[in-house]
């Protein structure tokens, strides 16, 4: 079981490129808070990432920054100074397909590819618990050929759109998101590399246990059976799983089962009993109690409120 692919599918992450920016100093764009992860790739020049309550972050050509929570921020030519709202810029320019957002000025040029990843705002998987800012610095010596090639193809497609370009760019952005996560997870020495779920995927036995849970979420798992399957003692698995994932194996199992159940409540007409049985609950009462404790509302009310 490819756990990352399973989580991406369940949390419904999808990509959509939003803009190319061509700007000459001085300039500044204010991006609103969005229910998506936002990325900026600097293809030429340099600029600053400005966030409320944080020190401005300098960026240069080749750098890629991801804001997983889509928090409000600004991209600008200087660490201080005025900005204009992204919505105002796009409405004022009314650019055609493929045309960049232009900021003419007397200073040096900066070019940026900006994009966002839509995700299910109801999802609560640890995958979505990433640092506020995930920065991949340009590094010619780094082993990031797949990431670099994906960014190159994305830039080419955006610069010269043709029939089908929207489909291609959406797929490339999806692929880009995976490469960003892979590259960031590989940076073991990064100061903000503290997200335990990613460390868990590098531990063979813990990763195998997570994979089993994702492969058969409805199975009657115990810590003993998981430990036997992955070839370690019950105590070893419990200790390492809890340390790396941040919660015990059965707590993670419950979280994942209810994540699946919540999605099915939103997206299908299956009965609550059937959904409960699918994710390993033999009693609708037990399922309702667990779901209410996890989501703060009973399954039937959750469905009525969040049905898509």
pLDDT digits (tens, 9 = 90+) for 172-231: 988 898 888 888 877 754 444 444 677 788 899 999 999 999 999 999 999 999 999 999
Contact call for residues 85 and 151 (beta carbons, < 8 A): no
Banded model confidence at residue 121, pLDDT cuts 50, 70, 90: low
* Whole-angstrom distance, CA of residue 260 vs CA of residue 144: 33
CA–CA separation, 217 and 224 (whole Å):
16
Domain ranges of the chain: 3-186, 198-306
pTM over 0.85: no
* Cα separation, 210 vs 221, whole angstroms: 12
The pLDDT score that the predictor gives to residue 6 is 85
How much is the pLDDT for 194? 47
pLDDT > 90? residue 93: no
Q: What is the DSSP string of 128-191?
A: G---S-EEE---TTSS-HHHHHHHHHHHHHHHS--TTHHHHHHHHHHHHHHHHHHHHHH-TT-T
Reported confidence tier of residue 22, pLDDT bands at 50, 70, 90: very high
Instruction: Give the pairing of strands 134-136 and 64-67.
Output: antiparallel
For position 142, what pLDDT does the model report? 61
Least confident among 99-113, 138-152, 172-186, 224-238:
138-152
What is 198-306's CATH superfamily?
Homeodomain-like (1.10.10.60)
Q: In what order do the strands lie in the sheet with 73-76?
A: 57-60, 46-50, 73-76, 28-31, 84-85
What is the rounded CA–CA span in Å between residue 80 and residue 286?
55
Q: Are 117 and 37 in contact (CB under 8 A)?
A: yes
- pLDDT for residue 97: 58
State yes or no: pLDDT of 39 exceeds 90: yes
**CATH for 3-186?**
2.60.120.280
Tell me the CA distances in angstroms from 86 to 78, 126, 135, one per residue in order: 17, 30, 22
| Residue 220 DSSP code | -
Q: What is the pLDDT of residue 189?
A: 45
Measured CA to CA, the distance from residue 95 to residue 75 in angstroms comes to: 20
Mean pLDDT value of segment 287-300: 94
Kindly tell me if the per-residue pLDDT of 59 is higher than 50: yes
Mean pLDDT of the 285-292 span: 96
pLDDT the model gives residue 21: 92
- The winner for highest mean pLDDT among 12-26, 32-46, 180-194 is 32-46
Place of tokens 């698995």: 237
Average per-residue pLDDT for the chain: 87
* Interior/surface letters 38-50, b for 16+ CB within 10 angstroms, e for the rest: bbbbbbebebbbb
- How high is the pLDDT of residue 191? 44
């Amino acid at each position: 079981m490819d756990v990352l692919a399973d989580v991406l599918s369940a949390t419904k992450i999808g990509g959509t490129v939003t803009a190319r920016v061509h700007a000459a100093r001085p300039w500044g764009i204010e991006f609103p808070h969005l229910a998506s992860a936002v990325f900026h790739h600097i293809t030429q020049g340099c600029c600053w990432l400005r966030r409320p309550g944080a020190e401005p972050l300098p960026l240069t050509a080749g750098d890629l920054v991801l804001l997983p929570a889509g928090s409000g921020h600004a991209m600008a030519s200087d660490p201080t100074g005025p900005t204009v709202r992204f919505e105002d810029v796009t409405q004022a320019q009314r650019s055609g397909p493929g045309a960049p957002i232009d900021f003419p000025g007397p200073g040096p040029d900066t070019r940026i590819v900006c994009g966002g990843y839509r995700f299910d705002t109801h999802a609560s998987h640890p995958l979505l618990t990433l640092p506020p800012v995930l920065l991949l610095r340009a590094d010619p010596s780094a082993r990031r050929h797949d990431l670099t090639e994906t960014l190159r193809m994305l830039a080419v497609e955006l610069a010269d759109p043709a029939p089908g370009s929207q489909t291609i760019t959406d797929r490339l952005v999806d692929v880009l998101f995976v490469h960003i996560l892979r590259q960031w997870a590989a940076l073991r020495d990064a100061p903000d590399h503290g997200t335990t779920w990613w460390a868990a995927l590098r531990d063979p036995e813990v990763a195998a246990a997570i994979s089993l849970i994702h492969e058969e979420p409805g199975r009657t798992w115990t810590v003993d059976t998981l430990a036997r399957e992955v070839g370690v003692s019950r105590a070893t698995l419990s200790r390492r799983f809890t340390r790396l994932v941040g919660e015990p194996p059965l707590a993670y199992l419950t979280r994942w089962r209810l994540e699946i159940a919540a999605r099915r409540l939103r997206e299908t007409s299956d009965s609550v009993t059937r959904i409960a049985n699918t994710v390993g609950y033999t009693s609708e009462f037990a399922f309702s109690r667990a779901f209410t404790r996890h989501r703060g509302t009973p399954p039937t009310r959750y469905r009525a409120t969040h049905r898509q």
